[in-house]
Homo-oligomer: A and B are copies of this chain.
Amino acid sequence: MKKPAINRRSYCPVTFALDIIGDRWALLIIRDILFLGKSNFGDFAKSPEGIATNILTDRLKRLEGQNIIAKNPDENNLSKYVYSLTDKGLDLLPIMVEMILFSEKHDLETAASKSTLKKIRTNKNKFIKELRQKHKTAFKNNLQGG
């Protein structure tokens, strides 16, 4: 494997994805947008895992820099922002679906939604496609709103 550039650990595909999701917090913001329909700082801060606001600020900035999320003014309050997933961010959805299936199998106390699990088990690709579409529409609306 070639020697990595100064800003990279390696050219391994696992490492590339890990440098986005390999963190205790970043993926929880993406979960909040993707599955819980959250879009603003205050709502992200209220998640049960209790993210500190300085960490939240840092991770939002980092995810925006990685082109995983996009930040736009909130049309209802122009001093605030709404966050949505970009196409690249939505491409993390299959990874998260596999994480949910792993946890459903190995965590006896999982709070995974039964209806979500059923949809995933019935037709994983359809579940991913429909959730993607829902967010793409929301993203488009945000851009038009902003």
- Can you report 9 residue pairs joining A to B where beta carbons are below 8 Å apart? A9-B48, A9-B50, A12-B48, A17-B99, A23-B23, A88-B106, A91-B102, A94-B102, A95-B102
Interface residues on chain A, size class? 35 or more
The 0/1 profile, CB within 8 Å of B marked 1, for residues 73-113 of chain A is 00000000000000010011011111111111111011110
User: Whose C-beta in chain B lies nearest to the C-beta of A50?
Assistant: B9
| Contact status A103-B49, CB under 8 Å | no
Q: Which residues of A contact B (CB under 8 A)?
A: 1-2, 4, 8-19, 21-25, 27-28, 31, 35, 47-50, 88, 91-92, 94-107, 109-112
A92 CB contact (under 8 Å) in B12, B102, B111 = B102
